[in-house]
Amino acid sequence: MTRKNDILTPEGYFENLQDRLSQIPARQQPVSTVRRIAPYFAYAASLLVAVMLGNAVLKKTAAPAQDDNWTYVSYLADALDPDGAALYEEDEWYEDGEQDLSEDDIINYLIADGISVEHLNYVNYEEGY
């Protein structure tokens, strides 16, 4: 154990720390622009191929006929609830993955937005926490 007055570190910690820190330059080697954007190109290309294939399949298979049952259901729903609010669950307001916010995302957002801790405490107090 290494100690500084009243606090300790695990045995051999500083040797280990120096080893890890010395590896930073190797881990952070500059990457060329072409290499950096190559995965995005690959992603865009595969997306384009998928869209073209899907479009071709749809053109061949899609029937022009309208689903009369669905038209009737839509008509009834509009008549009963013109705003359409009741048709949607809260989860459907979000796209997939939009709600997967981590605590760090929220914290970074609050800091970037300049919301102070005092304000958060005030809101907590107002809400009775």
Partner 1 sequence: MDNVERLFNEIVKDYSERVYWHVRRFVNSHEDADDLVQDIFLKIWTALPSFRGEAQLFTWIWRIATNETLNWLRREKVRAALRFSTIDAEMERRIDSDPFFDGDAADRALSKAVAKLPEKQRQVFILRYYDEVPYEEMSEILGTSVGALKASYHIAQEKVRASLGEFDGGD
Residues at the interface with partner 1 (CB under 8 A): 3-10, 14, 17-18, 20-22, 24-25, 28, 103, 106-108, 110-111, 115, 117, 120-121, 124, 129
In this structure, are strands 7-9 and 2-4 parallel, antiparallel, or unpaired? antiparallel
Contact criterion met (CB below 8 Å) for 9 and 2: yes
At its nearest, how many Å lie between partner 1 and the CB of residue 74? 42
Q: What is the smallest separation between the CB atom of 37 and partner 1, expressed in angstroms?
A: 21
Q: Nearer to partner 1 by C-beta: 71 or 116?
A: 116
30 or 64, CB closer to partner 1? 30
CB-nearer residue toward partner 1: 29 or 32: 29
Point out which residues pair with 15 in neighbouring strands. none
Tokens of 82: 């013109």
Question: Which tokens sit at 92?
Answer: 């459907």
CA dist 95 and 88 (Å) reads: 13
